[in-house]
């Protein structure tokens, strides 16, 4: 790769590759790295032990390291960093890398590799790391010469954090970490083959403004890109300035305050009735850092053909996200924050506003949909309703906690019932849908925000996929609260089996569950079991009072509860199954 090397931070010191890794990370402003040692990274761990700028968090499984670094990145907006050894260290990390990749999370992964002379000889703990991770990283590098190491790490951070963010892996053979070089860390880097667009096209933005100002039934649809691009203030400005309804995707929750009247709820497979109906029936749609994926708009043909006159504006930093599943009318490639800034300037510069009567009629239609109260559930049950637990959690934490989740029904209930008013408070695996992320995500978040309330909403199936990290939480005193919605089923699998597979609950029940209270205690934490609705609130309050303890709340919930509304796979988003309560 051609490099124009501008003035460098030259210390003139001779360092080993291992020291170069550490010093480069420090130069990037990294404070925490998550990892697990092994043969190929022994020199790097040796260098780590001889400095005090970088704090290393020793996880119990490499997957936990990746998820923790990922959660840290999601909550802070900084680049997450993980360090793993060769072979199984890398293969264990792959799930975490793929999870971050699907949700465009900036991460740098340093992996050890067998010595360069042994590569290709099926050496002990050797694997083709660059090959295995290629389809699930934004980019990766194998460093064969210690003199290239610092510049490669610089490139890794640059690529990971700019444009559409994503994980970048740097594979460092053991001999490279042992050899010495003069340490130079470049301040800036230029790569001729990588130039992400920032500013949106002025003409396109003008067209978008015209569409918005003449909309009769407008809709704002903001996704994870609005969070990643730190554009929630701009999203809110646009929505308020024009008086438009707004929905957020699962990844976009918090981009617009959920308690605000103009928010119509999350959309998609388990979105609200009003959000999905408005999405389907609007005449001008502005998509902001969202990608019209299958869990959001369902069947793309139904979405397009059901409303062929709908005009779509799509702002995204990644051109390949535009017109991938749905053809759009006004594509705008650029950083969402910059594009919205320019767009807002045009809106503010004109007195023209959308026709008030049309907008009022549209809002009354939306209010009629909203009146259906699609998230209603049975509040008189003798069993604990999972929705109730999330509502209480929201109340007790004053809606201001960081909430991580695993994947399944509990994830959807968390998304529906915890009203996120701020960005980066909702940490979940949306794209890959990785069970097991919740606890390590919470670790990463708590490390970044030690004084904040951090709760992991999980289920008895998901939590067991990374439960070993309870040990890490003990070691580093990470007092997160685990809210285990225990329904003795892989709830979402069971729900699909109930709806689409004739109630045959094939392998979806969780038998032989551990006693989670004792398990938590065995790891040195506090365990609580709650099985009556009346005890939920008290237990939650008690858990959050124990500021410096990890509390594992094992909450025995209604086994038969389903997530509603639901758009069955392959259906259009307006074809929802609603709760029997309605």
Interface contacts to other proteins, rule CB under 8 A? 1-2, 130-131, 134-135, 138-139, 142, 159, 191-194, 318-320, 323-324, 327
Q: Is 174 a catalytic residue?
A: yes
Whether the CB-CB separation of 149 and 20 falls below 8 Å is answered with yes
**152 DSSP β-pair partners:** none
How is residue 422 written in tokens?
């701020």
Helix (H) or strand (E) holding 36: none
CA distance 554 to 379: 20
Closest contact distance (angstroms) between CB of 164 and other proteins is 8
Closest contact distance (angstroms) between CB of 324 and other proteins is 6
CA distance 304 to 325: 10
Whether the CB-CB separation of 415 and 569 falls below 8 Å is answered with no
Closest contact distance (angstroms) between CB of 507 and other proteins is 29
**Marked catalytic residue, from 124, 355, 500, 559:** 124
* 565 cis-preceded (ω within 30 degrees of 0): yes
DSSP character for 566?
Answer: B
Measured from the CB atom, the residue of 135 and 356 that comes closer to other proteins is 135
Measured from the CB atom, the residue of 299 and 462 that comes closer to other proteins is 299
**Residue 25: C-alpha distances to residues 152, 209, 300 (Å):** 12, 43, 43
**566 DSSP β-pair partners:** 577
CA distance 250 to 404: 12
**Marked catalytic residue, from 492, 528, 566, 576:** 492
Q: Is 178 a catalytic residue?
A: no
Measured from the CB atom, the residue of 138 and 270 that comes closer to other proteins is 138
Closest contact distance (angstroms) between CB of 111 and other proteins is 15
Closest CA to 430 of 296, 239, 262: 296
Q: Is 464 a catalytic residue?
A: no
Q: Is the dihedral of CA 552, 553, 557, 563 positive or negative?
A: negative
Closest contact distance (angstroms) between CB of 192 and other proteins is 6
Measured from the CB atom, the residue of 243 and 319 that comes closer to other proteins is 319
Helix (H) or strand (E) holding 132: helix 129-133
> Phi and psi for 483 in degrees, rounded to 5?
-105, 95
Closest contact distance (angstroms) between CB of 234 and other proteins is 25
Measured from the CB atom, the residue of 77 and 300 that comes closer to other proteins is 300
**Marked catalytic residue, from 8, 31, 78, 125:** 125
**Marked catalytic residue, from 28, 62, 460, 469:** 62
Measured from the CB atom, the residue of 207 and 324 that comes closer to other proteins is 324
How is residue 200 written in tokens?
């949106």
Measured from the CB atom, the residue of 4 and 350 that comes closer to other proteins is 4
CA distance 77 to 548: 25
**Marked catalytic residue, from 174, 385, 446, 481:** 174
Measured from the CB atom, the residue of 130 and 452 that comes closer to other proteins is 130
**Residue 159: C-alpha distances to residues 37, 107, 168, 184, 244 (Å):** 26, 10, 7, 19, 35
Closest CA to 220 of 343, 350, 320, 368: 343
Q: Is 402 a catalytic residue?
A: no
Whether the CB-CB separation of 530 and 384 falls below 8 Å is answered with yes
CA distance 313 to 412: 28
Q: Is 544 a catalytic residue?
A: no
Closest contact distance (angstroms) between CB of 226 and other proteins is 20
Closest contact distance (angstroms) between CB of 204 and other proteins is 16
Here the contacts of 349-358 (C-beta below 8 Å, separation 24 or greater) are 350/209, 350/213, 352/213, 353/213, 353/242, 354/212, 354/213, 354/214, 354/215, 354/216, 354/218, 354/242, 354/243, 355/216, 358/215, 358/216, 358/217
List the catalytic residues: 62, 124-125, 174, 492
């Amino acid at each position: 790769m051609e490099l124009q090397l501008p003035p460098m931070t030259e210390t003139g010191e001779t360092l080993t590759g291992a020291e170069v890794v550490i010093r480069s990370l420090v130069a990037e402003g990294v404070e925490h790295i998550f990892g697990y040692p092994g043969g190929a990274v022994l020199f790097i761990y040796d260098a780590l032990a001889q400095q005090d700028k970088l704090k290393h968090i020793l996880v119990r499984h490499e997957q936990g390291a990746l998820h923790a670094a990922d959660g840290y990145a999601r909550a802070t907006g900084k680049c997450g960093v993980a360090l793993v050894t060769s072979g199984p260290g890398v293969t264990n990390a792959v799930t975490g890398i793929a999870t971050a990749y699907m949700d465009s999370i900036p991460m740098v992964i340093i992996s050890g590799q067998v010595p360069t002379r042994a590569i290709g000889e099926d050496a002990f703990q050797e694997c083709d790391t660059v090959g295995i991770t290629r389809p699930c990283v934004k980019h990766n590098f194998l460093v064969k010469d210690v003199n290239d190491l610092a510049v490669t790490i610089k490139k890794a951070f640059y690529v990971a954090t700019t444009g559409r963010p994503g994980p970048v892996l740097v594979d460092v053979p053991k001999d490279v970490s042992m050899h010495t070089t003069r340490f130079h860390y470049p301040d800036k880097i230029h790569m001729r083959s990588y130039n992400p667009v920032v500013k949106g096209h002025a003409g396109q933005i003008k067209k978008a403004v015209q569409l918005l100002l003449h909309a009769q039934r407008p809709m704002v649809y903001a996704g994870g890109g609005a969070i990643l691009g730190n554009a929630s203030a701009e999203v809110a400005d646009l929505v308020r300035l024009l008086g438009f309804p707004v929905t957020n995707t699962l990844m976009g929750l918090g981009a617009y305050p959920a308690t605000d009247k103009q928010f119509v709820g999350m959309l998609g497979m388990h979105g609200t009735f009003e959000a999905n109906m408005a999405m389907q029936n609007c005449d001008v749609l502005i998509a902001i850092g969202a990608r019209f994926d299958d869990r959001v708009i369902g069947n793309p043909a139904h979405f397009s053909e059901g409303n062929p006159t709908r005009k779509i504006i799509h702002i995204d930093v990644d051109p390949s996200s535009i017109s991938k599943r749905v053809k759009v009318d006004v594509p705008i490639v650029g950083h969402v924050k910059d594009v919205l800034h320019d767009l807002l300037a045009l809106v503010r510069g004109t007195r023209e506003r959308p026709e008030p009567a049309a907008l009022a009629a549209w809002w009354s239609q939306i209010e009629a949909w909203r009146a259906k109260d699609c998230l209603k559930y049975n509040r008189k049950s003798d069993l604990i309703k999972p929705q109730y637990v999330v509502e209480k959690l929201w109340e007790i934490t004053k809606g201001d906690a960081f909430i991580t989740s695993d994947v399944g029904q509990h994830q959807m209930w968390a998304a529906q019932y915890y009203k996120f008013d701020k960005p980066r408070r909702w940490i979940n695996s949306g794209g890959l849908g990785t069970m097991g992320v919740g606890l390590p995500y919470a670790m990463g978040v708590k490390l970044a925000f030690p004084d904040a309330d951090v709760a992991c909403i999980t289920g008895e199936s998901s939590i067991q996929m990374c439960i070993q990290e309870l040990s890490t939480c003990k070691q580093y005193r990470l007092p997160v609260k685990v809210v285990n919605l225990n329904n003795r089923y892989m709830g979402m699998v069971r729900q699909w089996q109930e709806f689409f597979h004739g109630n045959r609950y094939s392998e979806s029940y969780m038998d032989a569950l551990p006693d989670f209270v004792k398990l938590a205690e065995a790891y040195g934490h506090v365990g609580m079991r709650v099985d009556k609705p009346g005890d939920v609130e008290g237990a939650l309050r008690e858990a959050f009072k124990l500021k410096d303890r990890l509390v594992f709340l094992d909450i025995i919930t209604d086994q038969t509860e389903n997530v509603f509304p639901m758009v069955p796979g392959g259906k259009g988003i307006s074809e929802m199954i609603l709760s029997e309560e309605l």
